[in-house]
A and B are shown apart, each in its own frame.
Chain A
Amino acid sequence: MDMTFAEKILASYSNEKNVIPNQIVTVHPDHLLTHDNTAAIIQKIKPELEEYGVYDKSIPIIVLDHVIPAASEKTANNHKIIREFVRKHKIKNFFDVGNGVCHQIVVEKGLALPGKLLLGSDSHTCSYGAIGAFSSGIDRTEAASLMLTGETWLKVPNSIKMNLNGKLSPYVSAKDVILHIIGDISASGANYCSVEFHGDVNNFSIDDRFTIANMGVEMGAKNAVFLFDNTTKKYLDSIGISSSVYNPIYPDKNSSYIQQLDYDLSDIAPMIACPHNVDNVKPVSEMVDLEIHQCLIGTCTNGRFSDLKIAAEILKGKKISRNVRLLILPASKRIYQDALKYGVIDTLVESGGIILPPGCGPCLGAHQGVLAPGERCLSTANRNFKGRMGCKDAEIYLASPATVAFSALKGRILDPREVNT
């Protein structure tokens, strides 16, 4: 029987010859990602951890990224509890404050590999589809159970095939592509489904694929995957991962999809998600001139070197509007260092940008860059929900790094195609 990517990987991890959509299987994931929420997770199972210990010390990946450096005694104590747990249980993959956003770390450290299965207590765990892994988000309670047993159940999803054909126009990027798709199929358009990207995807770098897979959950997807190809291989080679340690999985030729969608990339314009839903997407050209007060370039969606570099190219030798704050959030220490090395940070600071420590920063409203009532933020992050950046009476707009950088210069939303550089 021919199977999709999701069917094939779930069959393999449940030791079944074939699986079909809606079948429930038991799997042992290769890794379990948790972050600052590890403190709450381990509190739930304190006696069981004493009695049984952690199922396998090489499975958990713990990254402190959500509220870093700690913003209060409570968050500082969470970090302390986690560090003590890591020491006591000799957890192999621990990344303390300052290393970066968890999803970037998982990819950069080669912990997400083609054909592997990862679960994480963070909804954007779906990001590792960029590398050809199957990855999906779960809650804290399930993460606690996985720490103890190493196993959980998954329902085999239906699959959607998205064909991305053609070439993007100048100043249109991966972020515009995924915003366009979410606007097209809605925030629940891929609910419970596995999304496979096909077509001319060789034009997309790993950074581009990361941005797209990261936002899979914003259309309800269980996972979103770019199949392993030469681009993936080159990336993994560059971080020192030998092809002998992974086995890519591809869908079979006649696998069945509940939906097939075709997108012509040359038709896609710079897009913007307007308040307060990620699927409230419009072409940037319809929102031009709207006044903004804060700009954010970074997060797990768009905080990679290529994103910061685009922003620096746009801002080089120029000053941002005195009416906006421009917050820059590199997704990891490695990206931060590369950006320093190539002068990107210098350019961004010179133009008026404020560099935040690699982590989740203002994205979830817990600290740093919280908005005031009536303010608007133009951000490269993945969510614009009401109250998301700490204030229910503020507005969040989502766009690409190029759109955000150009708009920062004016303090108003600009269509990057309309700007002469």
Chain B
Amino acid sequence: MKVWKYGDNINTDMLFPGKYTYTCSTSEDIKPHLLEDLDPLFSKQAKEGDLILAGKNFGCGSSREQPVIGLKSVGITAVVAESFARIFYRSSINQGLLLIECPDAVKTYSDGDEIKLDLDSGKIVISGKIFTFPKLPKEILAIRDAGGLLAYTRSKLKNSKV
């Protein structure tokens, strides 16, 4: 498991350049361009189970959802950041990508530290130090547990038809 560490204000153009917004929408089209202008190694080396650690305002900028779809399809376990931009945060709920807002954990981590996530109890353990993060509200968990917003909407439509 690799930890990809980035700074503040990682915007949507860095995560997925705008010039591809209207030509790439499937995860296979998106993956080669993920973080293209920020870290060209990412799309070549990132693997299922990897983590992203970042500073403030991760995902700021455009409402494009390709960054979220891309990170989810690579199999990134979670993005842990000091804070997230709101459209990106919503989009991650909709796609089922786990985001954890935990500034203390981000500030504590240094290269080579062992890092473990315990989602059920809302804990991040970094080289023995424990950091907690709050659980999501029940309305949001319902979307995540359904497998994302479209799955949630589909089941709602079906139920209302019955």
Contacts and interface: CB of A to CB of B under 8 A. Distances in A.
A69 to B, nearest CB: 13
B27 interface: no
B112 interface: no
Contact of A386 (B13, B22, B25): B13
A187 B9 contact: yes
B148 to A, nearest CB: 7
A191 B57 contact: yes
B147 interface: no
A122 B14 contact: no
A322 interface: no
Contact of A141 (B37, B139, B140, B148): B148
Judged by DSSP, the binding face of A is loop
Interface stretch (A44-52, A206-214, A298-306, A327-335): A44-52
Contact of B149 (A40, A145, A217, A370): A145
Interface in A362-405: 364-366, 370, 383, 385-388, 390, 392
B60 A121 contact: no
Interface string B1-31: 0000000010111100111011101000000
A44 B13 CA distance: 23
Given A220-B85, A365-B17, A145 B150 contact: yes
Interface stretch (B45-53, B61-69, B114-122, B125-133): B61-69
A141 B94 contact: yes
A138 interface: yes
Contacts of B123: none
B86 interface: yes
Contacts of B18: 364-366, 387-388, 390
A277 B36 CA distance: 17
B139 A139 contact: no
A89 B63 CA distance: 25
Contacts of B62: 123, 364
A137 B64 CA distance: 10
Q: Among A43, A144, A385, find the residue whose CB has the most chain B CB atoms closer than 10 A.
A: A385
> Which of B36, B37, B60, B91 is most buried by chain A, counting CB atoms within 10 A of its CB?
B60
B153 interface: yes
Given A24-B140, A386-B37, A187 B13 contact: no
A44 B139 CA distance: 23
B157 A141 contact: no
Given A24-B139, A137-B63, A387 B14 contact: yes
A66 B62 CA distance: 13
A385 B61 contact: yes
Contact of B61 (A24, A123, A138): A123
B106 interface: no
B83 A142 contact: no
Nearest to B92: A139
Contacts of B149: 141-142, 145
Interface in B74-117: 83, 85-87, 90-91, 94-95
B87 A387 contact: no
B79 to A, nearest CB: 15
B24 to A, nearest CB: 9
B37 A220 contact: no
A45 B56 CA distance: 34
Interface string A132-163: 00000111111011001100010000000000
A224 B90 CA distance: 18
Contacts of B56: 188
Contacts of A24: 137, 139-140
A48 B152 CA distance: 13
B63 A36 contact: no
A66 B22 contact: yes
Contact of A139 (B13, B57, B94): B94
Contacts of B157: 48, 52, 148-149
Interface in A104-148: 121-123, 125, 137-142, 144-145, 148
Contacts of A341: none
A235 interface: no
Contacts of A37: 21-22, 64
A66 B63 CA distance: 13
A145 B146 CA distance: 14
B14 A48 contact: no
Contact of A187 (B60, B63, B91, B94): B60
5 contacts: A48-B154, A137-B87, A138-B87, A141-B148, A141-B150
Given A137-B87, A141-B149, 4 more contacts: A140-B63, A149-B156, A220-B60, A364-B62
Which 3 A-B residue pairings sit nearest by Cβ, starting from the closest?
A188-B57, A385-B13, A139-B91
Interface of A: 24, 36-37, 40, 43-45, 48, 52, 66-67, 72, 74-75, 78, 121-123, 125, 137-142, 144-145, 148-149, 153, 187-188, 191-192, 217, 220, 222, 277, 279, 364-366, 370, 383, 385-388, 390, 392
Interface of B: 9, 11-14, 17-19, 21-23, 25, 36-38, 56-57, 60-65, 68, 83, 85-87, 90-91, 94-95, 137, 139-140, 148-150, 152-154, 156-157
